[in-house]
Chains A and B, each alone.
Chain A
Amino acid sequence: MKSAVVVFPASNCDRDAAVALQSLTGKKPHMVWHQESHLPEVDLVVLPGGFSYGDYLRCGAMASQSAVMRAVKAHADKGGAVLGICNGFQVLTETHMLPGALMRNADLKFVCRPVALEIEETQSLFTRKYEKGQRVHFPVAHGEGNYFADEETLDRLEGENRVVFRYADGDNPNGSARNIAGILNERRNVMALMPHPERVVDPLLGGTDGVGLFQSLIETLS
């Protein structure tokens, strides 16, 4: 599987994503600067976590206007896989490649801790190595991860099995509607989540629950 990680000004989990991809795929991902208007030939594009543009104005708003996002959109339109993590999720909603918006956490505080997630949907290239209903722990680290969409959109997401990750009951760290932690686009080739799978691929760092996500992609895209 060939992959690329997009780097926006003040992305800061770009290295973490690259390290995880390299250790699991054996290949160094391409690092793509936000001003590039073309992507290299890759199977997967990752929009990493961080504070693109300092999270100023709205998280992900300015990054969504960058040249590279037009290329990412074209890649997705051709059926290429896109994974957004944390700030990457915010960028994808701002670009309207995913529905809804990520608002300030309900208690207004930045939160960093491991959370329990349930795998809702395994019919996806991102989660086929997990079992339906499986419980995993990924860390979250964000101030604005409170997923919001109107009721109609939420119903549609659920009806089309596009809710991939849900915070386990009682462990919703940000007030997200219907405990939603990660969703798919309609075509099911773009997925984003607030928790950080790339931070749980090494037993020393608090677990390996994130490996399944990358393995799923490798298996499908290689």
Chain B
Amino acid sequence: MTAPTIRVQSENFDLQVEIDALTAGRKDIGAVVTFTGLCRDEQGQLFALELEHYPGMAEAEMRRIADLAMTRFSLLGLTAIHRYGKILPGENIVLVIAAAPHRQAAFDGANFVMDFLKTAAPFWKKEHAADGTAGEWVPAKDADDAAREKWR
């Protein structure tokens, strides 16, 4: 079992580069599922999101979630990258890649990591409005807690 790749960074990422790093030289991977979360524009009123995180704990928590997923779904590889700082509409926020011999494990692994990452990884989003007004912190969604419950 390869250790998951975990990164918290301000720069963007390239999916193909990250997948290549995960699958290079391997012939046992039959399925790779990726999830990319992007900054959506809320009806043209959003200038940018600002992503704050808890340095150290963010990586540690992502690693705990990744390790759980590796074991639970017998994954062959996992990458989780979360950006911080200012992110414009249409830009990437988060990437999860799960690799497995077969497709359902890869789908479940990536989905599981996202559900836990949303509710347990210490990141917070603040909205900056297009009209320059002071930003509001995005409220947590009950739906995200509910999504996490499906893995019990």
- Does A associate with B in a complex? no
